[in-house]
Structure 1
Amino acid sequence: MTDRYIPRVREASIPEDGGWAELSQENVLILSIPDWRDIADRSAKGYRYVWMYDRQGDAYIFSFRLEDGTERAVAFARDHGGLLLRDERAYKAFSILVTPEPLHEMKEDTPMLLLEEISLKRHPKAGW
């Protein structure tokens, strides 16, 4: 049995841009978060994650911890990044690919962090 991941992060980043793509026949949510340059090239092997719902902010929070202990969180507010979570692809397993670069400037050598096998269980109070 594995220990449940309990996040310790105190703030969440808001993606500057995002969109859906299909890579190797997998649905991938690509996010541009410039502040995450320091973790963009790290391995996500063995990472743990949890989704939370912030009722006050009407936002889903995706929090994760890498094996080295680095933690980050992303806020998906209902009328901002939350629009991406209302896409039909977010209702089944997907991956999240984070880059510090603007999406329109991505190249093969762009630093990226790939978080695989993510599922979002919707919170009943969210309504979305």
Structure 2
Amino acid sequence: MLKALAEYWPIINVFFGGFFVWVCWSLRQLAKNEIEKSALAQDKRLAQLDGRVDGHDTRLTKVEGHIVEIRNDVEALPTKADFARLEGEVKGVGLNAAAAANGVQRIEGFFLKKGVESA
């Protein structure tokens, strides 16, 4: 049997070499396919994340616009000095109204003394 093995050794060696090359090529193809699947899955996840980031960017831009509007509204609100000035004006109008009411009462009193009645 050793003589037959020695005689056919080159053929057996070529067969095992070919088998080994086929196994290596198959493993390489398997690894290549897995890497491609992984890359596709990663690209899909990146596309999803990209869409979410774009959505957040749009929402942040809208919120930034709202903040600017609120800031402008707050800047347009009256200050304490404005309220103090308004309070002074209201007091002045109140004094004028009181003076006018006193004048109206004097006129009414005058007409009542003269005997003129209102209609």
TM-score (norm 2): 0.13
Give the number of the structure whose residues are more often helix, by fraction: 2
Greater relative contact order (Cα < 8 A, sep 6+): 1
